[in-house]
Amino acid sequence: PPSRFEDNDYRVAAAALLIHITAIDGEVTNDERHVVHDTLKRQFDLDEAATAELIAAATDAEGEAVDLYRFASLLNRSLDDKGRGRIVEMMWKIVYADGRVSEFEDNVVWRAADLLGVAARDRIGLRQRVSGNRSGTDGNT
């Protein structure tokens, strides 16, 4: 059957960013897989089959991508500021899923947020909200 997710579907681009960040530190944990699945299912109001299909489409798209620009460009055309902020927040959820934040993960979120036009102040605020850290610190500031 045809896929319900076309290449130009912003949900594939968002999911591909999440897939990318799970593997950037060299290890994809079950916790990260679970958080990706639950986040996508809830954020896009999908059933189990659609969530699995979205993850498969995003995994394929991420494997073919040479950089983050392709995904960010589609998300910029498809979402408003609030929607792009939600993508960054979803990325932070994946980063914190395994309880560790690598410099690679932090860098990818920083670059993606920059490409998505999410201000550093907002990126830091989203990180703090996800991490529960209210200290106001961020490794890149």
Task: Choose among 60, 19, 48: nearest CA to 36.
Answer: 19
Output the CA torsion 55→94→80→122 (10° steps). -170
Q: Tens-of-pLDDT digits for all 141 residues of the chain?
A: 556 788 789 999 999 999 999 988 888 889 899 999 999 999 999 999 999 999 999 999 999 988 999 999 999 999 999 999 999 999 999 999 988 889 999 999 999 999 999 999 999 999 999 998 534 444 443
Size of the chain, expressed as the number of residues it contains: 141
The CA angle 30-34-36, to the nearest 5 degrees, is 115
